[in-house]
Structure 1
């Protein structure tokens, strides 16, 4: 069939055209999936929780090196 002059061909309407993804729609979602990190930690802690650690430990973080050579170079001007 030929299209009438002056009219554009219509596309079939999609179900998703009228859906509005606003904050109310998102907050009303029934399920929420845990993040990958939360799932990983939950699996790790099933056998036993992590060891307690002090807020500030006396040891520097791994990878920090305090050598005499670095101190000398730092103090020079």
Structure 2
């Protein structure tokens, strides 16, 4: 316990006046990579990903290339 005199405010912490605003964040000297960047760096330490062809033989999955759009148009 600390002994405080009545009528006086307790001594503040050194961090009481610190404001975490945009200027404070931008003035940081070091930056940390994102979690995804760290994950990819760890994964690629042994070697990069296997090369993939720009276009594959199979059509991409999705509604546009699905079988539902193969219905023929008929005039009524």
Q: Which TM-score bucket, shorter chain as reference?
A: 0.5 to 0.7
Q: Distance in 2 between matches of 1:30 and 1:72?
A: 60
Gaps in structure 2 of 5+ consecutive residues: 1-5
Q: Distance in 2 between matches of 1:44 and 1:76?
A: 53
1:17 aligns to what SS in structure 2?
A: coil
Structure 2 partner of 1:16: 15
Structure 1 partner of 2:29: 30
Q: What TM-score does the superposition give when structure 2 sets the normalisation length?
A: 0.55
1:16 aligns to what SS in structure 2?
A: coil
How many residue pairs align between the two structures? 65
Q: Distance in 2 between matches of 1:60 and 1:15?
A: 62
Structure 1 residue 19 displacement after superposition: 0.9
1:66 correspondence with 2:66: yes
- Aligned CA-pair RMSD: 3.2
Structure with higher helix content: 1
Q: Distance in 2 between matches of 1:31 and 1:19?
A: 19
> For 1:33-52, what aligned pairs fall within 5 Å after superposition?
33-52=32-51
